[in-house]
């Protein structure tokens, strides 16, 4: 399993959680999958916002960040297979005695010594990171090296490329800019790697192309598009089916075509099979803890409420003003309770929703400094008689 190139620029905290936040998406560092913000995703009759759904994706597709990183080879982790096996057992909470029995090596004291060695490796890694950061701060002219592309097999001298060298090669080979045409392919191996890496950016991640589509893209870069296509495959940037019917960025869409079709079908089926459930939800301002509590006969309309706020059309003026002031990222949508509908006997959904809403209003008191709701006058109904609940 290949990790995303974004890993190289991610912080330690971002690597630990397994994803980064962009303007419109949450992006998985382990596979590059994007989950769009502002969309509610259904799963097992529960609606999830994008960030929470990204955590579910990581758990389902990768088990955990730890498990995924442990699958990377030694050139990325610096760990021997023996050390990996030890770490996996430690991660599972095995005692020294249990590790010794499972691996069949030495004694419990031997395992303790291995723990000590790994701890030393951690301390050395921290020290090395600090030294490199200090070096960068002290010497701004220190060359920054371009990390090898993630699908490279063996790293050799061809990959010893600084950011400065990379820039010079691109200027020389693409005189009209990197979106323009390539001057020549008759260049040194190091330069060829730089050029191919840049041309690979013209393809979208997680998209499958026909050979005709690949050729059309490559024609914009170089006349001999057949040679260029072959080089992209040989150097590990593109992959294809044996019959040449499908192409994709290597490591980005391996098995993606079938997997994504199945996943889209599954999500569409889940969405169709979901009952139109009513309930109570809140829109909470995490900056000042104020909340807006309301009921809706259809919890799927939560996404519509978010859309109306983004387009400055929500009926609650105070909530809309603070949304405009603090921004979308300051608010979270949370289902407080789903209405349980009786299958037998008389059941008035509208009345039961009103009761459920009153229960949560009483519990949370989202009035004044605590929230955006308007407190109803004593003895009068909050809603206009006959007016449907709309959330």
Query: How many residues does this entry show for the chain?
Result: 391
Helix/strand/coil for 249: strand
Q: What digits encode the pLDDT tens for the residues 162-201? A: 777 888 889 999 998 888 999 988 888 888 888 898 998 8
* 183 touches 171 (CB < 8 A): no
| Owner of token pair 């020549």 | 184
Structure tokens at 90: 């430690």
Window from 12-26, 38-52, 116-130, 255-269 with minimum mean pLDDT: 255-269
Q: What digits encode the pLDDT tens for the residues 306-364? A: 878 888 888 899 999 999 999 988 999 999 998 888 777 788 888 999 999 999 999 99
Helix/strand/coil for 224: coil
Of 282, 298, 354, 342, the C-alpha closest to 49 is 282
Q: What is the dihedral of CA 344, 345, 348, 351, to 10 degrees?
A: -100
Structure tokens at 343: 């299958």
CA distances from 200 to 210, 296, 300, 314, 347 (A): 15, 48, 39, 44, 60
Of 41, 43, 22, the C-alpha closest to 333 is 41
What pTM does this model have?
0.44
382 vs 358: CA distance, rounded Å:
9
pLDDT at 341: 82
Q: What is the mean pLDDT of the chain?
A: 81
260 vs 210: CA distance, rounded Å:
17
Domains of the chain, CATH where assigned: 5-137 (no CATH), 157-249 (1.10.10), 275-370 (3.40.1440.10)
CA distances from 102 to 71, 75, 88, 112 (A): 20, 27, 12, 15
Beta bridge partners of 26: 21, 35
Pairing of strands 247-249, 279-285: unpaired
């Amino acid at each position: 399993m290949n990790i995303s190139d974004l890993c190289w620029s991610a912080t330690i905290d971002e690597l630990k959680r397994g994803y980064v936040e962009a303007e419109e998406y949450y992006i998985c560092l382990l596979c590059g999958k994007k989950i769009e913000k502002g969309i509610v995703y259904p799963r097992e009759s529960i609606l999830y916002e994008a960030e929470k759904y990204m955590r579910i994706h990581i758990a389902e597709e990768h088990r955990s960040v730890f498990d995924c990183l442990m699958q990377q080879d030694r050139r990325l982790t610096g760990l021997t297979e023996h050390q990996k096996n030890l770490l996996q057992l430690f991660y599972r909470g095995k005692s020294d005695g249990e590790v010794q029995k499972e691996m069949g090596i030495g004694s419990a004291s031997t395992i303790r010594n291995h723990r000590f060695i790994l701890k030393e490796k951690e301390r050395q890694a921290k020290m090395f990171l600090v030294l490199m950061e200090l070096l960068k701060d002290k010497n701004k002219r220190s060359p920054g090296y371009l990390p090898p592309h993630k699908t490279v097999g063996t790293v050799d001298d061809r990959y010893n490329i600084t950011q400065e060298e990379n820039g010079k090669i691109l200027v020389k080979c693409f005189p009209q800019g990197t979106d323009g045409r390539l001057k020549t392919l008759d260049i040194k191996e190091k330069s060829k790697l730089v050029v191919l890496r840049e041309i690979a950016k013209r393809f979208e991640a997680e998209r499958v192309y026909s050979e005709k589509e690949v050729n059309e893209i490559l024609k914009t870069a170089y006349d001999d598009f057949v040679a260029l296509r072959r080089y992209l495959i040989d150097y590990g940037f593109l992959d294809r089916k044996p019959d040449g019917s499908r192409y994709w960025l290597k490591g980005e869409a391996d098995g993606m075509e079938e997997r994504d079709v199945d996943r889209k079908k599954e999500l569409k089926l889940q969405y169709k099979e979901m009952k139109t459930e009513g309930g109570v939800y809140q829109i909470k301002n995490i900056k000042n803890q104020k909340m807006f509590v309301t009921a809706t006969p259809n919890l799927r309309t939560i996404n519509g409420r978010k859309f109306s706020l983004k387009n400055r059309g929500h009926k609650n003026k105070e909530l809309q003003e603070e949304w405009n002031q603090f921004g979308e990222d300051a608010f979270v949508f949370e289902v407080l309770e789903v209405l349980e509908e009786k299958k037998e006997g008389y059941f008035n959904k509208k009345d039961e929703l009103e009761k459920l809403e009153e229960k949560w209003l009483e519990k949370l008191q989202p009035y004044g400094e605590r929230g955006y709701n308007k407190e109803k006058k004593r003895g009068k109904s909050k809603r206009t008689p006959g007016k449907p609940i709309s959330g």
